[in-house]
Amino acid sequence: MRKFRCKRICRPKVTIKDLDRRPPSYADRWAPMLAGNGCSGCMACAEVCPTGAIAFNNSGQILFKHDACIACRACTDLCEPGVLILGPGIGGAVTRSELSYVGSTDKASADEPAIRPLKTPGPSKTIKIFAKSMHVREVDCGSCNACELEIAAISNPVYDAERFGISFVASPRHADVLFVTGSVTRQMELALNKTMAATPSPKLVVAVGACACSGGLFGNTQFAGAGVDASIKVDIYIPGCPPSPRAILSSIRGLQRGTITRSEHDHSR
Ligand code: SF4
Ligand code: SF4
């Protein structure tokens, strides 16, 4: 009987090596953006958006808030001139304001999408201590569990987060990083604060998904808050509903490499 060779079936080496170099997939193109200058300013997109992720200012510019976008595509479907298209979302950011940008209705072009972050990172220091080893505790604060599925996927053989030293642990006492999902329901506020207190310093907090970044579709009510940063300080925001495993992994890798720098939050209180 022929010897079983799993490498010949799933070819993990090829997949893993190519992961960082692959162009964005369909799942990575989820956020609305302007392509072309044919926007009529009808504001239909802003009116249909269920989470207020699109707004117009007095100058007629569109403000896209990727922290709140749930990728429902209602805005792009409704856009009559067809200038609102789906583009790559902002992968990860150290402040919420970096997840918003102004799309000028005058200057946008299909060749050069008008992605202009409102704010650049301020003084920050690169976290190098987690560069080769990072233990993660996931905290579900009221998510629909789709974010959990994508987080779990970074450990599968395709994304293989363990090759970067990223592994999941069962207790916050063993964790370096907290992945927090959900808009933080009232019942989970205390649990989140206790988990934070049980995690030894230095530590990082990563808000994963639109709910965790802004409250998303289920937040901002009497039962749930406006995201993780309403309860504890957040170091990295990863938008999307849910963010793809690639977006999650590349943001964490950016942190490890130092290409994403974190705000200097004091978690030692
Ligand atoms: S895709 Fe949906 S949530 Fe995102 S901006 Fe458009 S309407 Fe709003
Ligand atoms: S961001 Fe989207 S996928 Fe993640 S928990 Fe919220 S609703 Fe679910």
pLDDT in tens, 13-66: 545 555 556 666 666 778 888 887 788 888 999 999 999 999 988 777 888 998
pLDDT at 81: 86
Cβ of 239 closer than 6 Å to ligand 2, yes or no, is: no
Is omega for the bond preceding 24 within 30 degrees of 0, making it cis? Answer: no
Q: What is the pLDDT of residues 87-120, one digit of tens each?
A: 877 777 877 878 887 876 554 444 434 344 433 3
Ligand with the closest atom to the CA of 239: 2
Work out the average pLDDT over 115-140.
66
Q: What is the Cα–Cα distance from 252 to 132, expressed in whole angstroms? A: 11
Q: What is the Cα–Cα distance from 106 to 94, expressed in whole angstroms? A: 29
Strand ranges, E, within 80-140: 84-88, 100-103, 124-125, 134-140
pLDDT at 11: 52
Q: Is the pLDDT of residue 8 over 80?
A: no
Q: Is the pLDDT of residue 225 over 50?
A: yes
Spacing, Cα 193 to ligand 1 middle (Å): 31
CA dist 138 → 149, 164, 170 (Å): 11, 18, 8
Work out the average pLDDT over 113-138.
62
Spacing, Cα 161 to ligand 1 middle (Å): 30
- Angle, to 10 degrees, between the axis of helix 245-257 and the axis of helix 146-153? 60
Work out the average pLDDT over 227-253.
90
pLDDT band at 201 (very low <50, low <70, confident <90, very high): confident
Mutate to test the pocket of ligand 1, among 33, 45, 54, 90 (most ligand atoms within 8 A of CB): 54
Neighbours of 202 (CB within 10 A): 12
Question: Model pTM greater than 0.75?
Answer: yes
Work out the average pLDDT over 194-202.
93
pLDDT band at 239 (very low <50, low <70, confident <90, very high): very high
Ligand with the closest atom to the CA of 64: 1
Ligand with the closest atom to the CA of 50: 1
What residues form DSSP beta bridges with 65?
100
Tell me if 253 sits within 8 A of 134, measured CB to CB: no
pLDDT band at 131 (very low <50, low <70, confident <90, very high): confident
68 CA closest ligand 1 atom index: 3
Query: Would you call 188 exposed, middle or buried from its count of C-beta atoms within 10 A (0-12, 13-18, 19+)?
Result: buried
146 CA closest ligand 2 atom index: 3
Work out the average pLDDT over 170-175.
95
Q: What is the Cα–Cα distance from 217 to 61, expressed in whole angstroms? A: 24
Cβ of 143 closer than 6 Å to ligand 2, yes or no, is: yes
Output Rg (C-alpha) for the chain, integer angstroms: 19
Buried b (16+ CB within 10 A) or exposed e, 66-97: bbbbbbbebbbeebeeebbbbbbbbbbbbbbe
